[in-house]
């Protein structure tokens, strides 16, 4: 039914189509963004009262926790959108962005450490940068 030349051409077309299909599949997999786990650590003064944490994005409130001294808590975000948190500690409060798609995309974990003078961010748990100070009523 097919000659040798026709078979060779058909094989080349199939091979070319498979190559294109595999290339576009791997491109789609590489475009997938790794969403991090956000970890919050209570590093406030010993014997201080717990602080309350509430986090979410513009459409949902996804996480709520109370952290005592030395405790940590976290959750995996599920959308590549901005996330913010507010925290209450006695008469002090804070509101800040905890995940920003451009800056934090592709990171496995983003750590947040609460201290008496504010909130510190790290991606390696060794280098910390203060991002937000506590505010007073």
Residues 6+ apart with CB under 8 A from 26: none
Per-residue pLDDT of the chain (137 residues; tens, 9 = 90+): 556 656 655 555 555 555 555 444 444 444 566 889 999 999 999 889 999 999 999 888 889 999 999 999 999 988 899 999 999 999 999 999 999 998 888 889 999 999 999 999 999 999 999 999 999 97
Instruction: Tell me the whole-structure pTM to 2 decimals.
Output: 0.74
How far is Cα 131 from Cα 110, in angstroms, rounded to an integer?
13
């Amino acid at each position: 039914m097919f000659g040798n030349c026709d078979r060779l051409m058909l094989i080349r077309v199939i091979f070319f189509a498979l190559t294109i299909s595999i290339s576009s599949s791997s491109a789609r997999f590489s475009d997938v963004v790794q969403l991090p786990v956000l970890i919050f650590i209570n590093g406030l003064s010993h014997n201080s009262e717990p602080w309350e944490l509430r986090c979410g994005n513009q459409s949902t409130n996804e996480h709520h926790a109370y952290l005592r001294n030395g405790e940590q808590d976290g959750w995996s975000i599920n959308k590549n959108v901005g996330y913010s948190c507010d925290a209450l500690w006695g008469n002090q409060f804070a509101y800040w962005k905890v995940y920003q798609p451009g800056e934090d995309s592709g990171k496995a974990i983003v750590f947040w450490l609460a201290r008496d003078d504010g909130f510190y961010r790290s991606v390696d748990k060794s280098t910390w940068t203060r991002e937000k100070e506590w505010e007073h009523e």
